[in-house]
Amino acid sequence: MTSPASRIFCAVDTTEIDSARRTAAQVNGAVGGIKLGLEFFIAQGPAGVRAVIGENGPPLFLDLKLHDIPNTVASGIRSALPLKPAFMTIHASGGGAMMRAAADAAAEGGAERPKILAVTVLTSLDEDDLRGVGQALPVADQVTRLALLAKESGVDGVVCSPAEVARLRAACGPDFILMVPGIRPVWSATNDQKRFMTPAEAVAAGADHLVIGRPITASADPAAAARRIVAEIEEAA
Ligand SMILES: O=c1ccn([C@@H]2O[C@H](COP(=O)(O)O)[C@@H](O)[C@H]2O)c(=O)[nH]1
């Protein structure tokens, strides 16, 4: 069975190399990998990613959420292959052809290819937000629709909120990867997340990986916060 700590990617959301390196060092061993996203990549680029992860560093989740025409997204994935990320993201709403192009480009990485995950509906959005952008379906239906399209298009899994995990596990099967942000221990602020659950609830529902940022990184002791989360998952199991 996968250990709770190894399921967690710590979202290191900063523009600064020193800060990212410090956080990555603090949580080393307490989580399974490091997620670097847009703000870090725009500020520091591939060299910054290398400076944080190093040669034999922790698994890297490069969360760039690509969303463009198929050719451009495929080129973006291809450009990131030398960084050997374990996971990369695209937006499922970019459509089937775009997702297929991303999966094909990732396959060029061979045995060390990144797994491609399609973001369904951002965890910061709720029903009202979807209506605001012209999406009439309930959130869970829209997430399921995008996840099924992602699976059909050959990507490895999706990013979804904990609230949709059980439903997607049933709809997409045991091997489809469910990467789950919107994780909030009861002792943590909810911030801008609207569809969230506790770490233990997300794991119980069937999440493969948890993405956890501020509950760990905003803590005075990030390693202790990560260990507390792991203990809560273990106690609930
Ligand atoms: O739907 C999504 C997709 C990605 N994220 C990312 O996860 C982390 C969450 O950080 P917290 O501090 O735990 O809120 C962040 O990097 C987001 O870009 C997401 O939250 N929701």
Secondary structure of 54-74 in the HEC alphabet? CCCCCCEEEEEEECCCHHHHH
Q: Is 193 in the pocket of ligand 1 (CB under 6 A)?
A: yes
pLDDT band at 203 (very low <50, low <70, confident <90, very high): very high
SS3 116: strand
- If you take atom 1 of ligand 1, which residue's CA is the nearest one? 122
**Residue 116 CA to ligand 1 centre (angstroms):** 17
Candidates 18, 65, 84, 128; catalytic one? 65
In angstroms, the CA 149 to CA 57 distance is 33
pLDDT of residue 2: 86
Domain count, the chain: 1
pLDDT tens digits along 173-200: 999 999 999 999 999 999 999 999 999 9
Residue 177 pairs in a beta bridge with 157
pLDDT of residue 172: 98
- Full-model pTM: 0.98
SS3 176: coil
What is the CATH number for 70? 3.20.20.70
pLDDT at 27 over 90: yes
- If you take atom 20 of ligand 1, which residue's CA is the nearest one? 181
- If you take atom 2 of ligand 1, which residue's CA is the nearest one? 122
Is 115 considered catalytic here?
no
Q: Domain residues for 167?
A: 4-236
pLDDT band at 1 (very low <50, low <70, confident <90, very high): low
Average pLDDT rounded to a whole number, residues 69-84? 98
Residues with Cβ within 8 Å of 62's Cβ and at least 6 positions away in sequence, in order, are 35, 36, 41, 49, 80, 83, 85, 87, 88, 89, 114
Is 65 considered catalytic here?
yes
Q: Which two tokens stand for residue 146?
A: 């995008």
